[in-house]
Chains A and B, each alone.
Chain A
């Protein structure tokens, strides 16, 4: 109830989310995380700028995703590069850059990855075993 009211007050258009993300980038990581915590609109789709990085999340069903995971995983991109993500049995999420800590949803997982990257670019998505 409170959340809905707050979200309505902030507005839910992509433009509003982007502005929110850019503003948040100037603040500390945890504060930014809190203020950017907007519920994605259509069925898990996210397109926002967080701490200066573009986060795009497309719900599962489409996409290849390395070919070794069960279908249905979302595709998560940071500045256009795919982030390897995985869903735990309890419904929480991990990524290859935060592999030992769980997050409640792909959006908070992606934001944690942005903080961890400190501006660095994701390496090309490497299926199991990598290139070596």
Chain B
């Protein structure tokens, strides 16, 4: 069974294995297909039309399924690898070991935002940005520039205590847990982290930065923590909602998986620290 670990607790060997698997997916072309898929949904999901991957209730199950597919691709390269998560309430500065040269590399230089260190720097020659929205083929970041502070534990706790999963109009204007976690409303959690990292992470082609997966693995963990804290709450809406994926509807692009299939992460993986209430169930 796959165990997803906090990135801060990885051993040097685990970091090497994870980055090596990423580089291999990049080399064999699989990686960029994930970037293309994500950007397609980013551009296609709208508040007033069909919405599946973002700004809708299925934001959480869609990304859970997307990460499962990506993790399976990594494990085809190296079965020992799992997706680490980045707890940005704890590792909240550019000095975190996450951004060291032996892992993801650090922020970009001021002149052009280019990341100069680590396995994903353009100079290292193994991480071309191919699926892109502008002419730049190098990984860029501007840690802490677009917004100064990452979300705090207190801000996360306030969102985890919201008992209703999602509410009409089921989009970026909604009240409830999902939209506060996604960040279109309130203190802004998930969206703000994309902006804090900057570079490609702030764009529709955000999976070009490997930190995308660790950010979303943590957002996914927060969904599990919300479930543990609110055991009587479940995914909404239940049925019959135009343009929106109801509990039993299938999700594009897979068309064979529903939010209901994604509710229990323990069918697929566990976390190094499971939410307390969940482990008692």
Residues on A close to B: CB < 8 A?
A: 66, 68-70, 84, 86-90, 96-102, 116-118, 120-123, 126-130, 132
* Residues of A contacting B: mostly: loop
A96 near B133: Cβ-Cβ < 8 Å: yes
Is B278's beta carbon under 8 Å from chain A?
Answer: no
Q: How far is the CA of A127 from the CA of B190 in the complex (A)?
A: 25
Q: Which of B31-47 contact A (CB under 8 A)?
A: 32-33, 36-37, 39-40, 42-44, 46-47
| Count, A-B residue pairs, CB within 8 A | 93
Please pick, from A86, A101, A118, A127, the residue contacting B202 in the complex, using a CB distance under 8 A.
Answer: A101
Q: How far is the CA of A127 from the CA of B206 in the complex (A)?
A: 17
Residues of A within 8 A of B171 (CB): 89
Q: Which of B140-197 contact A (CB under 8 A)?
A: 146-147, 169, 171-173, 183-184, 190-192, 194-195
Is B49's beta carbon under 8 Å from chain A?
Answer: yes
Residues of A within 8 A of B136 (CB): 120
Interface mask (B47-64 → A, CB under 8 Å = 1, otherwise 0): 111000001000000000
Residues of B within 8 A of A126 (CB): 39
Q: How far is the CA of A45 from the CA of B48 in the complex (A)?
A: 24
Residues of A within 8 A of B191 (CB): 100-101
Q: How far is the CA of A87 from the CA of B172 in the complex (A)?
A: 10
Q: Which of B115-138 contact A (CB under 8 A)?
A: 131-136
How many B residues have CB within 8 A of the partner chain?
Answer: 40
Residues on B close to A: CB < 8 A?
A: 32-33, 36-37, 39-40, 42-44, 46-49, 55, 112-113, 131-136, 146-147, 169, 171-173, 183-184, 190-192, 194-195, 202-206
B202 near A128: Cβ-Cβ < 8 Å: no
B47 near A128: Cβ-Cβ < 8 Å: no
CB distance from A120 to the nearest CB of B (A): 4
Residues of A within 8 A of B40 (CB): 128-130
B49 near A96: Cβ-Cβ < 8 Å: no
Q: A116-B202, A117-B134, A118-B113 are known contacts. Are A99 and B169 too (CB-CB below 8 A)? A: no
Q: How far is the CA of A128 from the CA of B43 in the complex (A)?
A: 6
Please pick, from A89, A96, A120, A128, the residue contacting B172 in the complex, using a CB distance under 8 A.
Answer: A89
Residues of B within 8 A of A68 (CB): 43-44
Residues of B within 8 A of A122 (CB): 133-135
Smallest CB-CB separation from A119: which chain B residue?
B112
A100 near B202: Cβ-Cβ < 8 Å: yes
Residues of A within 8 A of B32 (CB): 132
